[in-house]
Structure 1
Amino acid sequence: MLEHGAIRGRIPHAHPMLHVDRVLEMEPHDLIVTSKAITGSETCYAQLGPGVGQPALRYPPSLLIESWGQGGALLWLERERAQGRTDGNAPILATLRDITFHRGVYPGDTLRHTVRIDQYTAAGVIMSGETRCEGDLVAEVGYALAVLRPSGELF
């Protein structure tokens, strides 16, 4: 299990784009389970005025997938470190397919992401997985391709 402070040093994402709070489980090179608590203080809610209804507080699906993908980044970069490759590359989620959203999530919910790395390739990784909230299926990702790029090229 990794807490938030340890995660901050393991992937290049930083506030406000770090969307993983805790690693709950990790099977090296194969599977990771992470959590993300949704709060009313998320940056995505900053422009909302008082008295908005529940639909306006739905956590954006793009951020939900970003959070899921960051779990995959943690798993992949752990493998890279174990193999002595710490050359400052950043993982980029390049392609997603077969995504199904089953229900929305809102402030007060805690997401539980499961990411499997199905295949390591010369160019990247192929991943799949799901997100749950209180046991309910929130989203499924059938296929995701991620690649590594030099961090200096990204910013």
Structure 2
Amino acid sequence: MIGLTEIRRIIPHRHPVLLVDRVSEVDPGRSITTLKAVSGREPCYAGGADDAYPIGLLLESWAQSAVLLTRWANPNPDVLADKVELISGIRDVVLHAEVFPGDVVEHHVELVREVEDAAILAGHSLVAGRKVLEIGSFTMARRGVDVLRPEGVA
């Protein structure tokens, strides 16, 4: 199992937007299982921790797990030094159950196909063994950071 220090050596995400706490299993180039402990102290709960974890953050946490898998053999801890992963499509997303503070989410990601600067992944997320999220297809593209800057901005 690897923790935050090692995760930060692979992907550029940092607090408060790093939404993966541990990698419990990895088969490089094939699959990864990660953990995210949802805490009532996260910024989304500034007004109180009674609500469900936002679906956007749950999806982002799963997506960060996907980036970890695709970057495992070629880490990119500094997004300005290499290419950045961009979501290019997500299909067949099913939210089976809500996630709440105190839950530990277990993300399962499988690499379906990878070509030079793009990847297709799929998977699901569990809480206490029950499926809370399913992602049928997740595509991402890698682009140089220079294409993301507005023209005329260095």
Shorter chain as denominator, the TM-score bin is 0.7 to 0.9
Structure 1 counterpart of 2:37, one-letter code:
A
CA RMSD of aligned residues (A): 1.7
Measure, in 2, the Cα distance between the counterparts of 1:15 and 1:79.
23
Is it true that 1:38 corresponds to 2:38 in the alignment? yes
In the TM superposition, what are the counterparts of 1:1-155 in structure 2 within 5 Å? Answer: 1-46=1-46, 48=47, 54=50, 57-81=51-75, 88-151=82-145, 154=148
Measure, in 2, the Cα distance between the counterparts of 1:93 and 1:23.
21
Measure, in 1, the Cα distance between the counterparts of 2:56 and 2:31.
22
Helix, strand or coil at the partner of 1:80: coil
Measure, in 2, the Cα distance between the counterparts of 1:25 and 1:97.
25
Helix, strand or coil at the partner of 2:112: strand
Flag structure 2 segments of 5+ consecutive residues without an equivalent.
76-80, 150-154
Percent identity, please. 36
Q: Note if contact 1:12-1:90 (Cα within 8 Å) is conserved in structure 2.
A: no
Structure 2 counterpart of 1:142, one-letter code:
G
**Alignment correspondent of 2:152:** none
Flag structure 1 segments of 5+ consecutive residues without an equivalent.
82-86
Give the C-alpha shift of residue 5 in structure 1: 1.3
Give the C-alpha shift of residue 74 in structure 1: 0.6
Give the C-alpha shift of residue 151 in structure 1: 3.7
- CA deviation digits over 1:102-141, x for unaligned, max 9? 0000000000000001001234000000000000000000
State the aligned residue count: 144
- CA deviation digits over 1:37-88, x for unaligned, max 9? 0000111111x15xx7x4xx1000111010001111011011335xxxxx61
Q: Note if contact 1:102-1:138 (Cα within 8 Å) is conserved in structure 2.
A: yes
